[in-house]
């Protein structure tokens, strides 16, 4: 049972990563390790191997853009920021998320009050 619960939690986290990434970069442009750090702080553990393909896909979809910035610690770094299309998409995702949370809370409220 614990293994099934862990797998379900992992799938749910994957489903909200795009929302969280857009939220993070909507506040300020971010380097991938900054994004990973924020996701880990929120207990959405992500490794670079998961993040980079997602960032690339979101860039190809026009949700993100990036620019290169010089680094004192080595080669230039790629910093991501949200596009206008990304902001529109984020707004839509947030609305959908809020509706989903509300629906889940409504359908599960009897479970917690009956225990």
Q: What is the pLDDT of residues 26-72, one digit of tens each?
A: 999 999 999 999 999 988 777 888 899 999 999 999 999 999 998 88
Q: Which helix (H) or strand (E) holds 78?
A: strand 74-82
Its domain, for residue 65, covers: 2-114
Number of independent structural domains in the chain: 1
Q: In the beta sheet, which residues pair with residue 81?
A: 65
Q: Check residues 79 and 72 and name the one with the higher pLDDT.
A: 79
Residue 87 belongs to a domain with what CATH number?
A: 1.10.10.10
Q: Check residues 5 and 22 and name the one with the higher pLDDT.
A: 22
Amino acid 112: pLDDT: 59
Residue with tokens 């917690």: 112
Q: In whole angstroms, what separates CA 7 from the centre of its chain?
A: 18
Residue with tokens 């910035």: 69
Amino acid 31: pLDDT: 94
């Amino acid at each position: 049972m614990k293994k099934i619960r862990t797998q379900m939690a992992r799938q749910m986290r994957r489903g909200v990563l795009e929302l969280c990434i857009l939220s993070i970069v909507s506040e300020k442009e971010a380097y991938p390790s900054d994004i990973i750090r924020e996701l880990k702080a929120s207990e959405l553990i992500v490794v670079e191997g998961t993040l980079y393909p997602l960032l690339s896909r979101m860039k190809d979809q026009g949700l993100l853009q990036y620019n290169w910035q010089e680094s004192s610690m080595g080669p230039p770094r790629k910093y991501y920021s949200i596009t206008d299309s990304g902001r529109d998409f984020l707004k839509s995702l947030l609305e959908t998320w809020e509706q989903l949370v509300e629906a889940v809370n409504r359908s599960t409220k009897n479970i917690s009050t009956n225990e």
